[in-house]
Structure 1
Amino acid sequence: MTISPTTGTDPRVTPHPGPRPTVQLLDVHKSYARGPGTVPALRGVSLSLTAGSFVSVMGPSGSGKSTLLHCAAGLDSPTRGRVVIGEHDISAFSDDALTRFRRDQVGFVFQSYNLIGHLSVADNISLPLVLGGRELDPVWRADLVAAIGLDGLLDRRPGELSGGQAQRVAIARALVTRPTVVFADEPTGALDSRTASDVLDVFRRTAARLGQTVVLVTHDPRVAAVSDRVVFLADGVVADDLGAPTVDEISSVALGLGR
Structure 2
Amino acid sequence: MSLSSHTPHPQTSPPQAQHPPTSLPALSTETAVRLVQVSKTYPDGPDVVTALRSVSLAIPRGSFTAIMGPSGSGKSTFLSCAAGLDSPTSGQVVVGDVDVTALSPDAVTRFRRDHVGFVFQAYNLVGHLTVVENIQLPMLLGGTRPDPVWQASLVEAVGLTGMEDRLPGELSGGQAQRVAIARALVTRPAVVFADEPTGALDTRTGQLVLALLRRMSDELDQTLVVVTHDPRVAATADQVLFLADGSVVGHLVSPTVAEISARLAETGR
Question: TM-score scaled to structure 2, two decimals?
Answer: 0.90
CA distance in 1, matches of 2:76, 2:145: 32
- Per the TM alignment, residue 9 of structure 1 is displaced from its structure 2 partner at its CA by 2.6
- Per the TM alignment, residue 155 of structure 1 is displaced from its structure 2 partner at its CA by 0.9
The structure 1 residue matched to 2:152, chosen from 142, 154, 157, is 142
Query: Hey, what does 1:228 align to over in structure 2?
Result: 238
Do 2:29 and 2:96's aligned partners in 1 also have CA atoms closer than 8 Å? Answer: no
Do 1:56 and 1:224's aligned partners in 2 also have CA atoms closer than 8 Å? Answer: yes
1:5-35 CA distance string (max 9 Å, x none): x98538xxxx9xx972110011110111211
- Per the TM alignment, residue 67 of structure 1 is displaced from its structure 2 partner at its CA by 0.6
Do 1:178 and 1:210's aligned partners in 2 also have CA atoms closer than 8 Å? Answer: no
The structure 2 residue matched to 1:244, chosen from 247, 250, 254, is 254
Query: Hey, what does 1:75 align to over in structure 2?
Result: 85
Query: Hey, what does 1:158 align to over in structure 2?
Result: 168
Matched letter for residue 185 of structure 1: D
- Per the TM alignment, residue 53 of structure 1 is displaced from its structure 2 partner at its CA by 0.2
1:172-221 CA distance string (max 9 Å, x none): 11110110100000001111121111111211212222222100000000
Query: Hey, what does 1:29 align to over in structure 2?
Result: 39
CA distance in 1, matches of 2:18, 2:58: 16
Query: Hey, what does 2:7 align to over in structure 1?
Result: none
Query: Hey, what does 1:97 align to over in structure 2?
Result: 107
What number of residue pairs does the alignment pair up? 252
Do 2:36 and 2:92's aligned partners in 1 also have CA atoms closer than 8 Å? Answer: yes
SS of the residue aligned with 2:121? coil
Range with greater deviation from structure 2 (201-210 or 225-234): 201-210
1:111 and 2:127 aligned: no
Do 2:38 and 2:92's aligned partners in 1 also have CA atoms closer than 8 Å? Answer: yes
Residues 186 and 122 (structure 1 numbering): CA distance in 2 closer, same or farther, change over 3 Å? Answer: same
Do 1:181 and 1:213's aligned partners in 2 also have CA atoms closer than 8 Å? Answer: yes
- Per the TM alignment, residue 37 of structure 1 is displaced from its structure 2 partner at its CA by 2.6
The structure 2 residue matched to 1:174, chosen from 169, 172, 184, is 184
CA RMSD of aligned residues (A): 1.8
SS of the residue aligned with 2:152? helix
Matched letter for residue 199 of structure 1: V
Matched letter for residue 58 of structure 1: M
CA distance in 2, matches of 1:41, 1:195: 33
Query: Hey, what does 1:204 align to over in structure 2?
Result: 214
Residues 117 and 136 (structure 1 numbering): CA distance in 2 closer, same or farther, change over 3 Å? Answer: same
SS of the residue aligned with 2:187? coil
CA distance in 2, matches of 1:199, 1:129: 23
Query: Hey, what does 1:255 align to over in structure 2?
Result: 265
CA distance in 2, matches of 1:255, 1:237: 16
CA distance in 1, matches of 2:44, 2:143: 40
CA distance in 1, matches of 2:175, 2:210: 13
Query: Hey, what does 1:195 align to over in structure 2?
Result: 205
% same residue: 62
Query: Hey, what does 2:9 align to over in structure 1?
Result: none
CA distance in 2, matches of 1:2, 1:171: 32
Query: Hey, what does 1:126 align to over in structure 2?
Result: 136
**Can you give the 5+ residue segments of structure 1 that lack an aligned partner in the other structure?**
none
Do 1:232 and 1:241's aligned partners in 2 also have CA atoms closer than 8 Å? Answer: yes
CA distance in 1, matches of 2:188, 2:51: 30
1:35-80 CA distance string (max 9 Å, x none): 1232110011111000110000000000000110010000000000
Matched letter for residue 53 of structure 2: R
